[in-house]
Amino acid sequence: MIKKKIKVYYDGSCRICTKEINFYHKNDKNEKFDWIDLNSQNESLRNLGIKRDDLKKSLHIEMEDGKILKGINAFSIIWREFKYFKYLSFFLDYKIIKIIARPTYNLLVKIKNLFS
């Protein structure tokens, strides 16, 4: 039986996004993730039911059970799989940290989208 992977939907036309995703991809030794460029014609994109433009507004992941997470919640799942980032994901479990991290992430996404 083939184990389902977490699907990571990222904007391959964004240089900053691609640089970060390439780092994660290179370090994904257990191949836990499928890295899907939003600019590809991937079957998963068609079946997801979310418009490509909406996906480009923030990082999205699709869990093995089909649940969709985005933004800080998506990063937290990715970070849990990487040795040095694992600790960041645990910090995000604290409500006060999430209260600060979410608007910070959203601001960075808006800035990124201005230059994309």
* pLDDT tens, position by position, 33-75: 999 999 887 777 778 888 888 888 899 999 999 999 999 999 9
Residue 9, both tokens: 């939907």
Most confident option among 10-24, 36-50, 99-113? 10-24
What's the per-residue H, E or C state across 6-68?
Answer: EEEEECCCCHHHHHHHHHHHHCCCCCCEEEEECCCCCHHHHHHCCCHHHHCCCCEEECCCCCE
- Length of the chain, please? 116
* Residue 2 confidence (pLDDT): 63
pLDDT surpassing 80 at residue 113: no
* Residue 1 confidence (pLDDT): 54
Each residue's pLDDT tens digit, 1-16 = 567 899 999 999 888 8
* Residue 110 confidence (pLDDT): 85
- The pTM for the full model equals 0.87
Distances (CA, A) of 78 to 12, 47, 73, 85, 105: 17, 22, 9, 9, 15
Angle subtended at Cα 54 by Cα 67 and Cα 101, rounded to the nearest 5 degrees: 70
DSSP one-letter code for 94: S
Q: Which burial class, exposed, middle or buried, applies to 21 when counting CB atoms under 10 A from its CB (0-12, 13-18, 19+)?
A: buried
